[in-house]
Amino acid sequence: MEVFSYLTSILCFGDSRRPCRFIFFTNTMQWHPVLWTAASLIFCSSLFLWFNRNRAGKEKGGRFPPGPRPWPLLGNLPVLNGNCLHRVLFNLACGKNGYGPLMGLRLGSRLAVVASDAYYAREILSTHDRIFATRPHFAFADTIFYGYNSAVIFSSYNPKWARLRKIYTLELFTAKRLRELEFVRQEEVKDLIDRLQEESAAGTKEVDVGKAVSDMTANTTSRLVFSRKAEQFDLAGLVQELEDETTVILRDFIPRLAFLDIKKMSRMKRLHDRIDAFLNPILAARRQLIRSLPPSELPHDFLQVLLSKESCENEDERLTSHEIKGMLLDILSAGVQTSAVASEWAITELIRNPLCLRKLQEEIDSMKKDMITDNDTSQMPYLQDVVKEVFRLHAPAPLLVPRVSTEECRIGDYLLPKGTLAFVNAFAIGRNEVHWERPEEFRPERYTQHRLDPDGGQMKQNKTTVDIHGQHYELVPFGSGRRMCAGIRLGLSMVTVSLANLVRFFDWELPKGISPDAIDMAEKGAISTSKATPLLAIPKRR
Ligand code: HEM
């Protein structure tokens, strides 16, 4: 999985593979009078709290952003029931009679806002970045991820988070470090090309593109982290289980009903034990190696960087084994699925838009290279535009990773109390007509704008400055501000280089009888943009 599906069950009650835990809750209530009594008590106290909170906001001269009318106790949880939370929120905010670009929600006992345009994304991610720099404390972080504050992704904003994140940015994801490890990414892309050639029986059979690409990202991430291929650990299986189990549960929104989560909590704990049983021997084996080999002969990977900090003399820099495992889990959960999802959508869009595919192949061919590398991709403007367009329409983490306000905060006319959850809907922003002309169209050319040349009065091409590094809030697939994606360089490199080589080596065709318009463009899962129906296509060697 991918860490981001922790939201899968927010309010949306699980994805299609899992039973809806809120439905379970409502069904249970039909049969147990004791629960009815408990619910009535909770209902009355919720009404009281709701009334008081609204009054407090008005007295301070601000109001909470508009949103759907909340139900007693559950708030807007039932309205959000559905498979793709980002789409549900997009429709609620931007549809006909929508609630607008800053929508307010009540999720059980918690308040939440959803930003669906660049202005409000900037307010949350930049203007009030410090106030929204903390992640909400959800139960899965404690049960699965070694604790709320043990690593980076799901940590609150605190000095320890800053110290651990610095290790990512200064020691793992620097340009130098990524250059040193580029050979791993190249070898895995080469393997992917060979495997596709073999699996497709030299271009006669269709292959599951998403599966092939996610095997590649799992192998790449695993080699960068442990210097071993993912197959040796069944990492893909573990990551999939992580995706299924990292969900928000009832206690995250209605703590008084925590007792209903017992089953889910025990599943999460079991998964944590499996992860621990997976990581412990890897750490033990490497410690043994460190004792027996000179430093120059040790593997040059992320695990080595992290373990070298275990015995740091300076206490402020030392990492505990708990923290190391938390950080390894961060990388595995954030790194594997995101890049694979983007690559599968990229091939899908190129098959649906053959002119774009041809134009991209022409650019790639003009490089006159065998394998395309990181160095080459920086000189390929059309490739960069294709990648941007894929992220605009199919941001792998469409709601980013949520934030929570640590102080009361005023945004325009609105007053958001301390503790308000904030979702930035990158999916909605990428489809916002205010920012994008004909937003539903896949058109990489949109990043090359035409303008009047002041001298000759002729039309000239000029690259717009919109990019995806968190400075342009109409395109924020990696977030922005201090909690922006720490692995953006690696993620972008995996997507861009693999895409370039997939179209460098293959023409892509659909199985006989299927037209590009018939490709299912739906996403599955509550909040991820994984394809609901895997893309089956035939890679024909060029
Ligand atoms: C296409 C690939 C990827 C996408 C679209 C993506 C997207 C994101 C997003 C949206 C966030 C939250 C940003 C925010 O709150 O503003 C995030 C956080 C994070 N990502 Fe990525 N990511 C990708 C790849 C990676 C990779 C490859 C790694 C590491 C191997 C990684 C590591 C992280 C970490 C550590 C954080 C947490 C940062 C923090 O909370 O301080 N990501 N990512």
Q: Identify which of 158, 423, 478, 496 to mutate to test ligand 1's pocket (most ligand atoms within 8 A of the CB).
A: 478
223 lines ligand 1 (CB under 6 A): no
* Closest ligand 1 atom to Cα of 168: 35
Query: Is the CB of residue 124 below 6 angstroms from any atom belonging to ligand 1?
Result: no
Spatial distance between the Cα atoms of 538 and 203, rounded to a whole number of angstroms:
6
As a whole number, the mean pLDDT across the chain is 87
Asked whether 334 lines ligand 1 (CB < 6 A), one says yes
Q: Is the pLDDT of residue 29 over 50?
A: no
* % of the chain with per-residue pLDDT over 70: 85
Question: SS3 for 457?
Answer: coil
| Whole-structure pTM value | 0.88
From the alpha carbon of 224, which atom of ligand 1 is closest? 30
Whether residue 9 contacts residue 248, with contact meaning beta carbons closer than 8 Å, is answered with yes
335 lines ligand 1 (CB under 6 A): yes
With 0-12 CB in 10 A as exposed, 13-18 as middle and 19+ as buried, what is 320?
Answer: exposed
At 46 the pLDDT is: 55
How many angstroms separate the Cα of 198 from the Cα of each of 192, 195, 412, 509? 10, 5, 57, 16
Q: Is 485 in the pocket of ligand 1 (CB under 6 A)?
A: yes
Alpha-carbon distance of 397 to 387, in angstroms, equals 15
| pLDDT at residue 11 tops 50 | no
Reported for 277-284, long-range contacts at CB under 8 A and 24+ positions apart, including other chains, are 278/233, 278/238, 279/325, 279/328, 279/329, 282/226, 283/307, 283/321, 283/324, 283/325
CA geometry: angle at 251 spanning 250 and 256, to 5°?
A: 110
Residue 106, pLDDT > 50, answer: yes
Say yes or no: CB of residue 400 within 6 Å of ligand 1: yes
Q: How confident is the model at residue 263, as a pLDDT?
A: 94
Least confident range from 35-44, 279-288, 319-328, 433-442: namely 35-44
In this model, does residue 103 exceed pLDDT 60? yes
Q: How far is the CA of 243 from the centre of ligand 1 (A)?
A: 15
- Min mean pLDDT across 253-267, 455-469, 481-495, 497-511 is at 455-469
Whose CA is closest to 142, among 282, 50, 265?
265
What is the whole-number distance in angstroms between the Cα of residue 134 and the centre of ligand 1? 15
How far apart are the CA of 168 and the centre of ligand 1, in A? 11
Distance 528 CA to ligand 1 centre (A): 13
Determine the distance separating the centroid of ligand 1 and the alpha carbon of 53, expressed in angstroms.
34
What average pLDDT score do residues 16-35 get? 39
Residue 415 parent element (H or E)? strand 414-416
Ligand 1 binding pocket includes 402 (Cβ within 6 Å): no
What is the 74 CA–ligand 1 centroid distance (Å)? Answer: 30
Question: What confidence category does residue 42 fall into, taking pLDDT thresholds of 50, 70 and 90?
Answer: low
Q: How far is CA 242 from the centre of its chain?
A: 14
Q: What pLDDT shows up at residue 505?
A: 97
Tell whether ligand 1 has an atom less than 6 A from the beta carbon of residue 332.
Answer: no
Q: Is the CB of 422 under 6 A from ligand 1?
A: no
Q: Determine what percent of the chain is predicted with pLDDT higher than 90.
A: 72
Mapped to the 3 state alphabet, what secondary structure does 485-532 carry? CCCHHHHHHHHHHHHHHHHHHEEEECCCCCCHHHCCCCECCCCCCCEC
Give the whole-angstrom CA distance, residue 245 versus residue 411: 34
Is 196's pLDDT higher than 80? yes
User: 262-281: per-residue pLDDT in tens?
Assistant: 999 999 999 999 999 999 99
- Total Cβ atoms within 10 A of residue 359: 18
Q: How far is the CA of 480 from the centre of ligand 1 (A)?
A: 10
Provide CB contacts within 8 A for 74, sequence distance 6+.
Answer: 22, 108, 254
Instruction: Give the residue whose CA is nearest to atom 32 of ligand 1.
Output: 487
Q: Which residues are annotated as a binding site for heme?
A: 485
213 ligand 1 Cβ < 6 A: no
Q: Which residue has the tokens 């990551």?
A: 239
Decide whether any atom of ligand 1 lies within 6 Å of the 12 Cβ. no
Closest protein CA for atom 1 of ligand 1: 339
Q: Is 539 in the pocket of ligand 1 (CB under 6 A)?
A: no
Cβ 86 under 6 angstroms from ligand 1: no
Checking if the pLDDT of 212 tops 60, the result is yes
Atom of ligand 1 nearest to the CA of 476: 10
Complex ipTM more than 0.90, yes or no:
yes
Q: State whether the beta carbon of 165 lies less than 6 angstroms from ligand 1.
A: yes
Binding residue positions: 485
CA of 529 to the centre of ligand 1 (A): 15
With 0-12 / 13-18 / 19 or more C-beta atoms within 10 angstroms meaning exposed / middle / buried, residue 18 is: middle
Task: Evaluate if residue 458 carries a pLDDT over 80.
Answer: no
